[in-house]
A and B are shown apart, each in its own frame.
Chain A
Amino acid sequence: MLKRIYILFGVVICFTACKKEVKPIEISPEQYHASIDKVTEVMIHDIFSPPVASRIYAYPNIAAYEILSQKHENYKSLNGQLHQLTAIPTPEENQTVNYELAALIAHMQLSKSLIFSEERIEAFQDSLYTQWSAVNEEEFNNSKTYALQVVDHIKEWMSKDNYSQTRTFPKFSVNSEDPSRWQPTPPAYMDGIEPHWSKIRPFVIDSSNQFTPTPPPPFSMEEGSDFYKEVKEVYDISNEITQKGDSSEEVAIAKFWDCNPYVSVTRGHLMFATKKITPGAHWIGIVKIAAKKSNSDVMETIYAYTKTSIAIADGFISCWDEKYRSNLIRPETLINQHIDESWEPVLQTPPFPEYTSGHSVVSGAASEALTSIYGDNFAFDDDTEIPYGLPVRSFPSFRKAAEEAAISRMYGGIHYRAAVEVGIKQGRDLGTFIVDNLEMKVDQNVASN
């Protein structure tokens, strides 16, 4: 008897409890930021080169954007706007799908397939899944099922971007008989990274060579030639700022924007790598800062990430096209050969040709994308590099930040002036093109009211 009462009591509690739990799953912008951060973290661990990293950011964001933009009339699908992207499947009619949730799941799921150490995303993902299915299992399951359909669709599209084919393309050939030709640099003398990245399908720009920059000054190590002057300038600036010491503003700027995913270090018998985020990841970090400062909702957050990551990805394709067209030798090689055998740049020279500066192009492109979303003169404190032991730097605008990122490469001793100045222009032109040609958020006034 007593037993029966207990059971009844239990059922009542359960009933009320279950009833209580049938509520929609809420997704916050924070959760999307967390997913992005997780991807960044795994990419650092797995060591992805900057161009490959830009691809890993772009596709999952696009998947999320395509899902969530269905819910918002003032956001337009990218279907037909990005090369070869077709409309994603729509949810089955009788299924209620939480679009925010589906977007986030799609982001995690696609990201997981792109990085190497899946278990690192799985741990993060599984705890969220457990929470969500506890809150509303049906909504979670429906949203997940739908997200996976979209992921398959995006994967199919992604698989045709020539990434897999370019893996087996020839390596960059070192030919030291050509004095202007890039060659591997100390200390690791790594092969040139991604020599065929220009053959990756771009997202928005017509082709990898749409924004071909003006060529660098003609190679000449004759004193007085324009090119020689640029080499000498790198050397002189480097000497000047290193004399001032680590506390100098220029050294601080160089280090802040280093963004080299793999710096090899030798200490005694010991070799190891210091690993940091890529230039693209730094700008993805700035998106987060801007979105949080603007209190962007989930839609606007995903929009900002998507647009910026597309600009970055196309920026790398454009920049790499030029890098392996001009195949220009790095300042470190020339300075060691002609000026000072023992000179070392402030930053470690990254393993690919010099012209144009990847950070300059990508910063130019990303800053234009961000400006189009959050406006010019958007002041922010950039704390992206704090986990890597670097301080906060403050900027009055995205464009000013991009300018500093560009010049940092000269301070770092890894680029000549032309690569920086032409590079940022290349990036801005490309960024502007993307902003002008990509219709994502329509009728901004309405939306912001």
Chain B
Amino acid sequence: MRFNKAFILFFGLLVLCCCNSKEGSLFSHPKATKTGVTFKNTLTSTDDLNILDYLYFYNGGGVAVGDINNDGLPDIYFTGNQVKNKLYLNKGNLQFEDITEKAGVAGNSEWNTGTVMADVNGDGFLDIYVCAVIGINGFNGFNELFINNGDGTFSEQAAKYGLDLDTYSSNAAFFDFDLDGDLDMYLLNHAVHTENSFGRVNLRYERNYETGDRLLRNDNGKFIDISEEAGIYGGINGYGLGLSIADFNTDGYPDIYVGNDFHEDDYFYLNNGDGTFTESLKNHFGHTTRFSMGNDVADINHDGLPDLISLDMLPEEEVPLKASEGDDNIQTQRIRTEQYGYHYQFTRNMLFVNQPDGKFLETALTSGVAATDWSWSALFADFDQDGEQDLFISNGIPKRPNDLDFIKFVSSDEILKKIDNTKLVDDKALSLMPSGNSHNYVFRGKGKLGFEDLSNAWITKDTLISGATAYADFDLDGDLDLITNNLNEEAKFYINQTNDANNYIKLKFKYSEKNSHGIGTKVYAYVAGKLSYKELQPSRGFQASSEPIIHFGFGQEETIDSLKIIWPNNQFQVLTQVKTNQTLTIQPENTKPVKFKADTRPNNLRFQKLEEKLGLDITHKEDNYIHFNREKLIPYQVSDRGPAVAFEDINNDGKKDFFIGGSKFIANQIYLQQDSLFVRKKMPFVNNDSIKEVTTIAVVDANGDLQNDIILGSGGADFFGNAEALTESYFVASDSTFTKNSFPEIFENTSVIIPYDFDQDGDEDVFVGRQSITAAYGKKPTSQLLENTNGKFKPVQQESFADLGMVTNAVWSDFDGDNQKDLIVVGEWMQPYFFKNTNGKFTPISSPKITGLWQKIAPFDIDGDGDLDYLLGNWGTNSKFKATANAPMKMYVSDFDTNGTSETVVTIQKNNKEYTLATLDDLAGQMVSLRKKFTNYRSFAGKTLLEIFDENQLKKAKILEVNTLESGYLKNNNGEFTFVPFTLELQLAPILEFSIFDFDKDGKVEALAAGNYFGVKPYHGRFDSFPGALISNENEVILGGNLGLDFTQKSIRKLQVFEFNGKFYLLAVFNNEEAQLYQINT
């Protein structure tokens, strides 16, 4: 039986796979002539009204879907910008009738936008609310509320309800925010003021009538504006385009996420439960979309927490990518964030995965949904009913106003002389902008945060400009269909052909008189140990509301173990053993109150963050230097790899102390361990050395006098040439002072110094790894093995180590079990190198040719087979870097323009073609001759490396490669190592640190991994989403949000476990941040 099921499943998948190969395999697209849905949002530019006069001219109309006559069939309402709105009655079999006239819902406003179906008056019939832009561009009217008379006609009664608003509205959502049983409303408005300068962040606190969002409380059928008292921002800078309602923090009260276009931050309003909200974006999100468009919410990873996608406009294709204005430069980003107070925003879609501690991990690049061009609506739904949420994204714009050629060349040459004189010029201006009609996207959810682009297969690619989109089961076959409202083209159906290939359940609710459809109802479905979760909020996507139902797919599962329904009033009921493939209408029965915990995580978290830190009040401050200002084409910085941290006995009192390396011109810090706490001690020898940036520390008794000596590795990638500040500092302890001693001088950026008596002669030798040469990034620096003779260090076996590459970390570890510690070295743009130690002589051993941006290596028996495996921290995949064995990322190092300084050009592959990551402006800023070769952006955009540089230039270049970006481990199979990548959740950011310790006191050690890194240009974003993870074995990983760790939005440099007065602690030291101290609970 079991076998049979599996077989069917396998076969089913096989069939699905086959179908996937051709366009339109999941969705069919019946034509308007067949369905009768002929609505077309025809847009006509005029001299007085066009994209030049109105920035949101192309945002399109809205669409709302719901059953207005309670016949079980979802009907469709479209709004038009310049055309009248239309209502189509679903008559079954995908036949629709235009009943607009009879229903009286054509509308009177002159520019309609979003629309919502909701039973506002609680009579059991869905009403229709229509948003409009009023008061600019000569637009007249007001937001209309069409109250359903229950007989196929509607009466406009907005004024009666206090909803006849006349602002720049784009969308609305009806939901019961105060849990008083009736539906309140959030109105999303958009700003129009020009973006001449960023303006102050506090503009958002000054309420503006037309542009400020509104929260309206339903007081017995009258909607009262309580925005101000409820803590809703209403400034002149709120470019609201995206609106999601969900109980993000699962406390029983619905919260609000608002996506704002342009420089204004998105707003994340957490419901305080007392009628007010607290905007909390920065605490929960490390960064957001920049040109935020539509958004949507769903639990994509089966943890019962609502996740969020917010759309932007990053193109996937090379041509629009390189021809369009991109992200800020790094200094502008600093001004925007540090001086003006805005949050980090980047131009790409963002997928935010909600964690138990309230932090959202941003995974769009790893998940593969980051670039869908000029995107409007996102809708999550399980279209193929395999149990995983899929994603539909509508997109397109008739003209790209961010085209660089238009901005820099065309506009000026052709238009500007006339622009103020005549309106006629507008047509000319428009004709010079390229079109942005990219196809809509559909992604299949693969589970575990992965998505697969099936736009080629599931839908028929088109060049429609699609905006507002809604889902519904139009043909009552159980699966979810889609309808899009398009510019200048008829609305398009996406009729789902999944049918009975996979199982589903469709839930409708009969909740209460005032909230008849049960908006805010949550459903937890448990099937075979897997949780699926949804909350009923019809307003979603972009300027749209979907059918007010909850739908789950379950693959081949025939029975749902249990359905837990939490009603909007936080009473719940449970249905068990529910058959799939049916539509249920559920009403409250035998409900019980939900008990909410303030914190949904386990009570006894592994790590408890301490406010009182045993005197370890450590804050690292990075110096102001921007490495990209010196080496403008490098892929990432080398200047921010500190602080180095050592936990060793510095003052030779038998107790270990903390030594924290300082940045350039910033003093090192020493915290001496005393009986009840650590005490900061100023020691002149380190203060006098503070010009250097200390990147690694080795504490050893080098001269055998039983006192610890100190070697400080120096880096920072700012000092160059033969600057003394690039050399290591070697301090020898004598009595209570330290004196500087000589150490081999290499004027390069050092990354790691690790001691070991490799020749077993009784003194500590060291390996010194170096990462880069300032102003010659890409050139191999010199690493060294230094043999200690009476406290003097001398390089040995130089030929073996001089040319390793850009070393970041190394470890002494006996990998071959001969009881002599061997040496393993890792680094960036190189493979891990294994050196076998035979009585002090080192021979390289062949090892997997996995070239990566390796950051850290740690010995750890992850498979529990008794031998040592090696954990490897790498860059991760949540990045615009792309590398596989077949399509490696490459870095070409050469003096391309023969001006005496070498440049680096980094390339990735797309469809087997090699493209530079850098833009024309970046490249030509260094190599002026490219400006002559490419006198405009269009001529550069889409060009491959070989088309940009000639063969001779490339021939001279040294080429470095990366074929692996995943972090993972080298699995030891009887001395043979194979690389095994970690799962996606460990690929969200560079992993920079492992700490091996028996954290749970189960007698076996675990590995605590931490990471995040910010030393990249805004095009790459910020790798802030790795929360840390406790790795017990190959299959058991717990993310930091479940452990009590507060690692997101911070970039780790050191994890140090130590015992102090009988308790175990973890010190986490970050770059440019306050260190954290945790008590480890066992």
Determine the chain A residues whose CB is within 8 A of the CB of B897 once the complex forms: 164, 167
Determine the chain B residues whose CB is within 8 A of the CB of A184 once the complex forms: 331-332, 335
Question: A266, B899: Cβ atoms under 8 Å?
Answer: no
Determine the chain B residues whose CB is within 8 A of the CB of A186 once the complex forms: 196-198
How many B residues are at the interface, by size bracket?
35 or more
Return the CB mask of A383-415 against B: 1 if under 8 Å, else 0: 000000100000000000000000000000000
Q: Known contacts being A116-B931, A173-B626, is A168 close to B903, with CB within 8 Å? A: yes
Question: A164, B329: Cβ atoms under 8 Å?
Answer: no
Question: A269, B401: Cβ atoms under 8 Å?
Answer: yes
Determine the chain B residues whose CB is within 8 A of the CB of A270 once the complex forms: 51-52, 55, 401, 429
| CA distance in complex: A187, B336 (Å) | 12
20 contacts between A and B (CB under 8 A): A118-B932, A118-B935, A119-B935, A165-B900, A167-B928, A168-B632, A168-B899, A171-B331, A173-B629, A176-B338, A184-B331, A184-B335, A267-B52, A268-B52, A268-B53, A269-B56, A270-B52, A271-B325, A272-B412, A275-B416
Question: B195, A266: Cβ atoms under 8 Å?
Answer: yes
| CA distance in complex: A172, B630 (Å) | 9
Q: Is A301 an interface residue (CB 8 A)?
A: no
Q: Smallest Cβ distance from A258 to chain B, in angstroms?
A: 14
Chain B residues at the A interface, C-beta cutoff of 8 Å:
51-57, 192, 194-198, 200, 325, 328-329, 331-332, 334-335, 338-339, 401-402, 406-409, 411-413, 415-417, 429, 624-626, 628-630, 632, 897, 899-901, 903, 925-928, 931-932, 935
Determine the chain A residues whose CB is within 8 A of the CB of B429 once the complex forms: 270
- Name the residue of chain A whose CB is nearest to the CB of B415: A272
- How many contacting A-B pairs (Cβ < 8 A)? 115
Question: B54, A268: Cβ atoms under 8 Å?
Answer: yes
- Name the residue of chain A whose CB is nearest to the CB of B338: A176
Question: A274, B412: Cβ atoms under 8 Å?
Answer: yes
| CA distance in complex: A382, B329 (Å) | 39
Determine the chain B residues whose CB is within 8 A of the CB of A172 once the complex forms: 629
Question: A273, B928: Cβ atoms under 8 Å?
Answer: no
Q: Is A189 an interface residue (CB 8 A)?
A: yes
- Name the residue of chain B whose CB is nearest to the CB of A52: B928
Question: B416, A274: Cβ atoms under 8 Å?
Answer: yes
Q: Smallest Cβ distance from A387 to chain B, in angstroms?
A: 8
- Name the residue of chain B whose CB is nearest to the CB of A337: B339
Q: Smallest Cβ distance from A155 to chain B, in angstroms?
A: 14
| CA distance in complex: A414, B632 (Å) | 29
Question: B55, A268: Cβ atoms under 8 Å?
Answer: yes
Q: Smallest Cβ distance from B114 to chain A, in angstroms?
A: 19
How many A residues are at the interface, by size bracket?
35 or more
Determine the chain A residues whose CB is within 8 A of the CB of B624 once the complex forms: 173, 175, 177
Determine the chain A residues whose CB is within 8 A of the CB of B57 once the complex forms: 269
Sort A-B residue pairs by CB-CB distance and give the 4 closest, nearest first.
A186-B197, A272-B411, A269-B55, A268-B55
Q: Is A80 an interface residue (CB 8 A)?
A: no
Question: B932, A171: Cβ atoms under 8 Å?
Answer: no
| CA distance in complex: A32, B801 (Å) | 63
Q: Is A46 an interface residue (CB 8 A)?
A: yes
Q: Smallest Cβ distance from B950 to chain A, in angstroms?
A: 17
Among A165, A191, A267, A341, contact of B899 (Cβ-Cβ < 8 Å): A165
Q: Smallest Cβ distance from B640 to chain A, in angstroms?
A: 14
Determine the chain A residues whose CB is within 8 A of the CB of B54 once the complex forms: 268
| CA distance in complex: A117, B934 (Å) | 9
| CA distance in complex: A44, B413 (Å) | 9
Q: What's the dominant secondary structure at chain A's contact region?
A: loop
Q: Known contacts being A47-B408, A116-B931, is A171 close to B629, with CB within 8 Å? A: yes
Q: Is A8 an interface residue (CB 8 A)?
A: no
Determine the chain B residues whose CB is within 8 A of the CB of A46 once the complex forms: 931, 935
Q: Smallest Cβ distance from A320 to chain B, in angstroms?
A: 18
Q: Is A344 an interface residue (CB 8 A)?
A: yes
Q: Smallest Cβ distance from A237 to chain B, in angstroms?
A: 21
Q: Smallest Cβ distance from B415 to chain A, in angstroms?
A: 8
Question: B416, A168: Cβ atoms under 8 Å?
Answer: no
Q: Smallest Cβ distance from A39 to chain B, in angstroms?
A: 15
| CA distance in complex: A389, B402 (Å) | 26
Among B56, B402, B901, B935, contact of A271 (Cβ-Cβ < 8 Å): B402
Known A116-B931, A264-B407, A268-B55; 13 more pairs at CB < 8 Å: A46-B935, A118-B935, A167-B899, A168-B901, A168-B926, A171-B331, A176-B339, A187-B196, A267-B52, A269-B56, A270-B51, A270-B401, A274-B416
Question: A275, B196: Cβ atoms under 8 Å?
Answer: no
Question: A173, B625: Cβ atoms under 8 Å?
Answer: yes
| CA distance in complex: A177, B624 (Å) | 9
| CA distance in complex: A171, B198 (Å) | 23
Q: Is A45 an interface residue (CB 8 A)?
A: yes
Q: Smallest Cβ distance from A384 to chain B, in angstroms?
A: 16
| CA distance in complex: A156, B925 (Å) | 22
| CA distance in complex: A264, B407 (Å) | 9
Q: Known contacts being A173-B624, A184-B331, is A273 close to B197, with CB within 8 Å? A: no
Question: A272, B335: Cβ atoms under 8 Å?
Answer: no
| CA distance in complex: A187, B927 (Å) | 27
Q: Smallest Cβ distance from B212 to chain A, in angstroms?
A: 18
Q: Is A224 an interface residue (CB 8 A)?
A: no
Among A165, A187, A341, contact of B200 (Cβ-Cβ < 8 Å): A341
Q: Smallest Cβ distance from B972 to chain A, in angstroms?
A: 45
| 47-69 of chain A: CB within 8 A of chain B | 47
Q: Is A357 an interface residue (CB 8 A)?
A: no
- Name the residue of chain A whose CB is nearest to the CB of B329: A191
Determine the chain B residues whose CB is within 8 A of the CB of A118 once the complex forms: 932, 935
Question: A171, B194: Cβ atoms under 8 Å?
Answer: no
Among B332, B407, B628, B925, contact of A273 (Cβ-Cβ < 8 Å): B407
Determine the chain A residues whose CB is within 8 A of the CB of B903 once the complex forms: 168
Return the CB mask of A172-193 against B: 1 if under 8 Å, else 0: 1111110000011011010100
Determine the chain B residues whose CB is within 8 A of the CB of A267 once the complex forms: 52, 194
Q: Is A218 an interface residue (CB 8 A)?
A: no
Determine the chain B residues whose CB is within 8 A of the CB of A165 once the complex forms: 899-901
| CA distance in complex: A271, B403 (Å) | 9
- Name the residue of chain B whose CB is nearest to the CB of A116: B931
Determine the chain B residues whose CB is within 8 A of the CB of A174 once the complex forms: 331, 334-335
Question: A164, B196: Cβ atoms under 8 Å?
Answer: no
| CA distance in complex: A172, B331 (Å) | 10
